[in-house]
Amino acid sequence: MKKLLVEGGTRLRGQVRVGGAKNSAVALLPAAILANSTVTIEGLPDISDVQTLSELLEEIGGTVRKDGQTVEIDPSTMISMPLPNGRVKKLRASYYFMGAMLGRFNKAVIGLPGGCHLGPRPIDQHIKGFQALGAEVTNEQGAIYLRAKELRGARIYLDVVSVGATINIMLAAVKAKGRTVIENAAKEPEIIDVATLLASMGAKIKGAGTDVIRIEGVDELNGCLHTIIPDRIEAGTYTIMAAAQGEEMIIDNVIPQHLESLLAKLREMGVTIEENDEQLYVRPGKSLKSVDIKTLVYPGFPTDLQQPFTSLLTQATGTGVVTDTIYQARFKHIDELRRMNAAIKVEGGAAIVAGPSKLQGAKVKATDLRAGAALVIAGLMADGITEITGIDHIERGYENITNKLIELGGKIWCEEMSKEEVEQFQNS
Ligand SMILES: CC(=O)N[C@H]1[C@@H](OP(=O)(O)OP(=O)(O)OC[C@H]2O[C@@H](n3ccc(=O)[nH]c3=O)[C@H](O)[C@@H]2O)O[C@H](CO)[C@@H](O)[C@@H]1O
Ligand SMILES: C=C(OP(=O)(O)O)C(=O)O
């Protein structure tokens, strides 16, 4: 088991290239199950979630060929294998095997998903959607059993705006008989990306990116070639790093429109950001001014950038209030930031950050993916060395973060943990 070490104080400078979007990749791979021939996806990020999903596709009989960032999936030999345990527990997005396998085989058995522990993460809206399409759904000993004689299109209103439920219902509905309408759908760019792949496969799907998605079911879906969108959360994380510890940084392979809420908040703090079609050029202000943020569904401030942004707020003058309306308890990083001398308290469901604080290197634990990113940012700004355990979370969503930061001049490296450290980590 490894830990990540960050020696703070060095200013970051240069250009960093953002990879393909994790939250697209994790839906595009299962979507390939629905095709009758090879689906090729270009620009996939080199992260463990992609690896785990590729292994799951192989587990159900598919052939997955990887060549750098390109993956070819031949789904023709897949079978409706139950996946009650094992790899499905390693990540959140294994829930997309429910919609995709139901769509292709009219049945599936999938264990409840894992993913970041951010408080309750129910999947009732996914199930409501599958049931509306005609599936019988039962939960037997922690696995979801889905069976349908035939899937029929339906009008489905989501009680909660959910990225996962919107995509999962799209996957189940594209081959259903007749018309499906998803109302109160999520509007994240990753939903448009998945709809684009499905349309290239031959699906009839309209309205992705708005809150009403209309689908006319088709009998067959074909193989195709698809290029993934860039990861707005990885891009946002490096943009926050640039504001926190950069001199001059270019974030390359970005769709700036996907990050409008973050860029607006950074500019409010005094950060200079210039943008062109695919790059951000970031110069931090002489001093940063505190702001409040409230996470909302897209295009609001993304919950996945709340934790990294909180680290930046520790360096701003004044008091910033952080409210997460998507995951009210997404505050596990706060205790760790406090160990590094940050002045933050959680009160009435909000994190109140008083700054600026001189952060000190410490031994801290990444409790989830974006908590890990928040700690890397804090480590870059801190005096001394920060040791971060739990880096498998970080590897779920950030490709080559160590190398990318070294290229920017950061002092960051991995070390093997001692036996005592592993024991301590496992008991903490
Ligand atoms: C793999 C993936 O894409 N993960 C992202 C996805 O997670 P995920 O798809 O799990 O998140 P959702 O958009 O579904 O969740 C949004 C909110 O709806 C609630 N909810 C969701 C489904 C449901 O059936 N019932 C219900 O009550 C959740 O508890 C949460 O409060 O969107 C989140 C919100 O942008 C991001 O933080 C995650 O990075
Ligand atoms: C919460 C996240 O991921 P997941 O939904 O895969 O756990 C995230 O990407 O920040």
Strands (DSSP E) contained in 141-191 are 143-147, 155-157, 179-183
Segment 385-408, tens digit of pLDDT: 999 999 999 999 999 999 999 999
Q: How far is the CA of 260 from the centre of ligand 1 (A)?
A: 21
Main-chain dihedrals φ then ψ at residue 395, nearest 5 degrees: -70, -15
The residue to which tokens 């970080």 are assigned: 394
Q: Whose CA is nearest to atom 8 of ligand 2?
A: 304
Mean pLDDT of all residues in the chain?
97
**What is the per-residue pLDDT for 428?**
84
pLDDT at position 179 is 98
Query: What domains appear along the chain, each with residue ranges and CATH number?
Result: 2-19+230-427 (3.65.10.10), 22-227 (3.65.10.10)
Work out the percent of the chain whose per-residue pLDDT is above 90.
95
Segment 105-121 shows an average pLDDT of: 92
Helix (H) or strand (E) holding 196: helix 189-200
pLDDT tens digits, 114-130: 888 888 899 999 999 99
| Stretch (H or E) spanning 345 | strand 343-347
92 annotated to a ligand binding site: yes
What residues have CB less than 8 Å from 289, skipping those under 6 apart?
268, 269, 270, 316, 317, 318
286 annotated to bind ligand: no
CA of 169 relative to ligand 2 center, distance in Å: 19
- pLDDT score of 407: 98
Q: Is the CB of 405 under 6 A from ligand 1?
A: no
User: Residue 45: its pLDDT value, please?
Assistant: 98
Protein residue with its CA nearest to atom 26 in ligand 1: 122
Q: How far apart are CA 109 and CA 6, in angstroms?
A: 42
**From the CB of 114, is ligand 2 less than 6 Å away?**
no
Q: Using one digit for the tens of pLDDT, what is the confidence trace for 18-44?
A: 999 999 999 999 999 999 999 999 999
Residue 12's CB is within 10 A of a number of other CB atoms, namely: 22
Annotation-wise, does 124 bind a ligand? Answer: yes
Strand partners, 67: 70
271-311 pLDDT tens trace: 999 999 999 999 988 899 999 999 999 999 999 999 999 99
Tell me, in angstroms, the distance from the centre of ligand 1 to residue 309's CA: 19
Determine the pLDDT at residue 119: 87
pTM of the model: 0.98
Q: Complex ipTM above 0.90?
A: yes
